[in-house]
């Protein structure tokens, strides 16, 4: 397989789907003339023209609403937010229109739309540009929420999201756009709602998703040096959640640590903890531990970013707590 960047994998997914289906189009800030704020849509304007790769004003509520209307009329829009922090301006259209329209119309109006863009910390961008809203959107019936961790998953999941007849929130990481990974030349899809055991292990299950997956891999590598065998489950989709894969892994390892970048209250990690204690309680040899960002806005200073976010060190500490202290 080729080794390509995460941004290239996403760009290929969009271009392939636009070639396959003329109803698919891309709309957002700087996606056309500038080739994308993060160069994900590089070259797409030249290939597909300004009617299918559309630059918008800085009006998230407006172009999100245009996308919903286009989807109601049979098109398949991809709406790019320059960052999901800016999606808060458009959240009325995402939650009250896209997510609910199929239900409110009695099944008459499916909304095949993808809202995509970067989520979470991207370095020294401070409090208003470093937030995770995966759990917010996952709380909403009618939406599917995808957070890939590798170029391979990014391409396969985005192609599946574009073909899906429901609205999909597709959340990327700005820090991962330059990351390289193995991606096949040929066509492939990854079904939404299916987790993957990325690493087999026997002593503890580590559940994660998105860019924090790579911190979890670092933690598992260090733990292996101490004789602790960690199994890594990458959720990939946080609505719907593949509880079966998580529970089966916990039944095998008897311990669970969930690592997630979002704030701790009402997080994805909290709900997985609830589900596992309900359906796999008798298999647990220790309480479930979760590692989230500290419950504060993210600071600008690198030292405070390090102290706030989940990382390999905090993951290792949590694993040792479930291994030795319970």
Element (H, E) at 77: strand 76-80
Q: Which two tokens stand for residue 70?
A: 């286009």
Residue 163 to residue 58: CA distance in whole angstroms? 27
Residue 119 to residue 311: CA distance in whole angstroms? 17
Measured at the CA of 30, the angle between CA 25 and CA 36, to 5 degrees, comes to 75
Residue 263 to residue 243: CA distance in whole angstroms? 21
What is the pairing mode between strands 53-55 and 196-199? unpaired
Q: What are phi and psi of 210, to 5 degrees?
A: 70, -160
Tell me whether residue 174 is one of the annotated catalytic residues. Answer: no
Q: Are 191 and 49 a contacting pair, CB within 8 Å?
A: no
Residue 59 to residue 187: CA distance in whole angstroms? 34
Q: Which of 17, 80, 129, 215 is catalytic?
A: 129
Q: What are phi and psi of 205, to 5 degrees?
A: -100, 130
Element (H, E) at 234: strand 230-234
Cross-strand partners of 144: 168
Residue 62 to residue 78: CA distance in whole angstroms? 14
Q: Are 280 and 207 a contacting pair, CB within 8 Å?
A: no
Residue 299 to residue 221: CA distance in whole angstroms? 29
Tell me whether residue 271 is one of the annotated catalytic residues. Answer: no
Helices (H) and strands (E) in the chain, counts: 12, 14
Q: Which of 12, 29, 60, 174 is catalytic?
A: 60
Coil, strand, or helix at residue 273?
A: helix
Q: Which two tokens stand for residue 212?
A: 């924090």
Is residue 170 classed exposed, middle or buried when 0-12, 13-18 and 19+ CB atoms within 10 A define those classes? buried
Residues with a known catalytic role: 60, 129
């Amino acid at each position: 397989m080729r080794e390509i960047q995460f941004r290239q994998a996403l760009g290929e997914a969009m271009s392939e789907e636009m070639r396959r289906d003329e109803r698919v189009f891309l709309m957002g800030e700087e996606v056309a003339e500038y080739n994308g704020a993060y160069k994900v849509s590089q070259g797409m304007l030249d290939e597909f023209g300004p009617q299918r790769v559309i630059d918008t004003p800085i009006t998230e509520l407006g172009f999100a609403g245009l996308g919903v209307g286009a989807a109601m009329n049979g098109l398949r829009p991809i709406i790019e937010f320059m960052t999901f922090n800016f999606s808060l301006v458009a959240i009325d259209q995402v939650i009250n229109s896209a997510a609910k329209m199929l239900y409110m119309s009695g099944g008459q109006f499916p909304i095949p739309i993808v809202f995509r863009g970067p989520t979470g910390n991207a370095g020294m961008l401070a409090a208003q540009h470093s937030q995770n809203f995966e759990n917010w959107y996952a709380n909403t019936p009618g939406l599917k929420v995808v957070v890939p961790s590798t170029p391979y998953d990014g391409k396969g999941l985005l192609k599946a999201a574009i073909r899906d007849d429901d609205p999909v929130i597709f959340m990327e990481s700005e820090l991962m756009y330059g990351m390289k990974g193995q991606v096949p030349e040929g066509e492939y899809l990854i079904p939404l709602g299916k987790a993957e055991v990325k690493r087999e292990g026997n002593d503890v299950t580590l559940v994660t998703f998105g860019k924090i997956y790579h911190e979890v891999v670092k933690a598992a590598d260090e733990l292996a040096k101490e004789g602790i065998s960690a199994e890594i489950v990458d959720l990939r989709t946080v609505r719907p959640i593949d509880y079966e894969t998580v529970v089966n892994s916990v039944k095998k390892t008897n311990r669970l640590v969930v690592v997630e970048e979002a704030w701790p209250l009402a997080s994805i990690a909290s709900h997985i903890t609830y589900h596992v204690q309900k359906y796999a309680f008798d298999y647990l040899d220790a309480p479930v531990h979760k590692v989230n960002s500290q419950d504060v806005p993210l600071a600008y200073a690198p030292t405070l970013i390090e102290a706030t976010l989940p990382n390999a060190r905090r993951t290792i500490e949590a694993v040792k707590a479930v291994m030795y202290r319970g």
